[in-house]
Amino acid sequence: MVEVTHLIEIPMAVEIPVGPQHPALHEPLLLKLYADGERIIKVDVMTGYNHRGIEKLTEKNTFYRDIFIIGRVCGICNAVHTNCYVRALEYILDVDPPPRAKYLRVLSMELERLHSHMLVLAVTAELAGYETLFMYLMKDREYVMKSKEILTGQRVMADYMMVGGVRRDIDEVKTSRILDIIKRVEERIKYYHKIFQEDVTINRRLRDTGRIKPREALAYSLVGPVVRGSGIKTDIRIQDKYDAYGDIPFNVITEDYGDSYARAMVRFGELYESINMVRYILTHLPQGNPVPDERKLPRRFPVGESYAAVEAPRGELTYYVSSSGGDKPYRVKIRTPSLNNIVNSAFTYVDQMIADVPIILGSFDPCISCMERAVITDLRRGVRYQVPLKELGGVRK
């Protein structure tokens, strides 16, 4: 009979694919989980399922037509995308919009921040198991969409920005309607904020889930509410003061703990700030005409290049535009906040439970369709093929 004196434990890692099509994901993304029991020991983030070729498409259309193409990069954040692109064009043309146009631009972008944050908070509630809370938040979000429609003419695709200004002005009747809507929405946000603070299940699902320490947030170049949820006070609206952000008072909201709950609280804080900014804008609008005459805009752009940044609801969004002289851009390069937050976030899932993965991913407010845009055309072979994100070195083919 053999006597056993030592018991050797051999760790077993099980590979679990989450995506690219999964009930917890609203867009195609693959999280390849490696788990020891219920505990995650490693995650690979796999992208590349949703290429649309928008960057190449902008090179084949005029600078002005591209404004409408850029607005389709993200349906939720179309105003901030077009604002960033339009400002890049204005830098090349040396055009400065009038003050009223700058205020109205900020108004449209803060309304967009409102409905975007309400959307991700609704999704967070759904992922935590509260489908009824999801529906209530989405219902009240519709009032913000109505405000956006009053301002821009459309509730989703605003197409509001243009070189030198905006496409529509606002009168006293519209101003009064938006103020009434915002007052109603503010009361509802206070109610939802209280639920998130007091509900036992939401707190248990979000607290200590996907914690990101301040040094990790900086080391992995995370942006937006994600980095501010880890106590880092950074915001392009403060740093660049583009458009009228240098004139409109607001606070940068931060939370210290860095978990999924902290990221949700940052978004609630930013909802209150955006509401205050909307009120300030509508009661302090400068006089003047914010709508330029399109017929007087130059059709051919000078040779040059520009770089613009904007604080989108998800974080820092940047556009690089290069002009070789003519009516079409030589190059348009977009870097969205989800690119940083999703690709660099694999470490946040380690040592968490499998059931926490949807909560952590949802706390980043992922937008996959806006971060994947590249299609490579090989003229030698006459074929088109998609290239994984890791193989894109920024070299123009």
- The arithmetic mean of pLDDT across residues 273-293, rounded, is 96
Tens of pLDDT, residues 201-247: 999 999 999 999 999 999 999 999 999 999 999 999 999 999 999 99
- The arithmetic mean of pLDDT across residues 12-41, rounded, is 84
Residue type, 330: Y
- The arithmetic mean of pLDDT across residues 260-268, rounded, is 97
Tens of pLDDT, residues 166-175: 999 999 999 9
pLDDT category, 16, cuts 50, 70, 90?
confident
CB 159 within 8 A of CB 152: yes
The structural domains of the chain, ordered by start, are: 54-338 (1.10.645.10)
Find where tokens 């902008």 sit: 58
pLDDT value at 146 more than 50: yes
Q: Which has the minimum average pLDDT: 1-10, 52-61, 90-99, 357-366?
A: 1-10
The three-state (H, E, C) secondary structure of the chain, written as one string: CCCCCCCCCCCCCEEEEECCCCCCCCCCCEEEEEEECCEEEEEEEECCCCCCCHHHHHHCCCCCHHHHHHCCCCCCCHHHHHHHHHHHHHHHHCCCCCHHHHHHHHHHHHHHHHHHHHHHHHHHHHHCCCHHHHHHHHHHHHHHHHHHHHHHCCCCCCCCEECCEECCCCCHHHHHHHHHHHHHHHHHHHHHHHHHHHCHHHHHHHCCCCCCCHHHHHHCCCCCHHHHCCCCCCCHHHHHCCCCCCCCCCCCCCCCCCCHHHHHHHHHHHHHHHHHHHHHHHHCCCCCCCCCCHHHCCCCECCEEEEEEEEECCEEEEEEEEECCECCCCEEEEECHHHHHHHCCHHHHCCCEHHHHHHHHHHCCCCHHHHCCCCEEECCCCEEECCCHHHCCCCCC
Gyration radius from the chain CA atoms? 23
Q: State how far the Cα of 368 lies from the Cα of 42, in Å rounded to an integer.
A: 21
More confident residue, 141 or 15: 141
Find where tokens 């921040």 sit: 113
Q: Which of 185, 124, 181 is nearest to 151 (CA)?
A: 181
pLDDT value at 4 more than 70: no
- Residue 320, both tokens: 């690089």
Task: Name 197's Cβ contacts closer than 8 Å, sequence gap at least 6.
Answer: 203
More confident residue, 17 or 109: 109
Q: How many CA atoms lie within 13 A of 166 on its CB side?
A: 27
Hey, how many other C-beta atoms are within 10 angstroms of the C-beta on 234?
A: 18
The percent of residues above 70 in pLDDT, for the chain, comes to 90
Q: Which of 236, 239, 216, 230 is nearest to 259 (CA)?
A: 230
Taking the C-alpha atoms of 298, 300, 303 and 309 in order, what is their torsion angle to the nearest 10 degrees? 60
Q: State how far the Cα of 258 lies from the Cα of 210, in Å rounded to an integer.
A: 8
- Residue 230, both tokens: 């880890």
pLDDT of 393 reads 39
Tens of pLDDT, residues 304-349: 999 999 999 999 999 999 999 999 999 999 999 998 999 899 999 9
pLDDT value at 64 more than 70: yes
pLDDT of 48 reads 79
pLDDT category, 392, cuts 50, 70, 90?
very low
334: Cα separation from own chain's centroid: 13
Is 0.85 surpassed by the pTM of this model? yes
pLDDT of 339 reads 87
- Residue 149, both tokens: 């429609």
pLDDT value at 379 more than 60: no
Q: State how far the Cα of 96 lies from the Cα of 89, in Å rounded to an integer.
A: 11
pLDDT category, 397, cuts 50, 70, 90?
very low
pLDDT of 395 reads 36
What mean pLDDT value characterizes the chain?
Answer: 89
Q: State how far the Cα of 294 lies from the Cα of 303, in Å rounded to an integer.
A: 21
- The arithmetic mean of pLDDT across residues 15-40, rounded, is 85
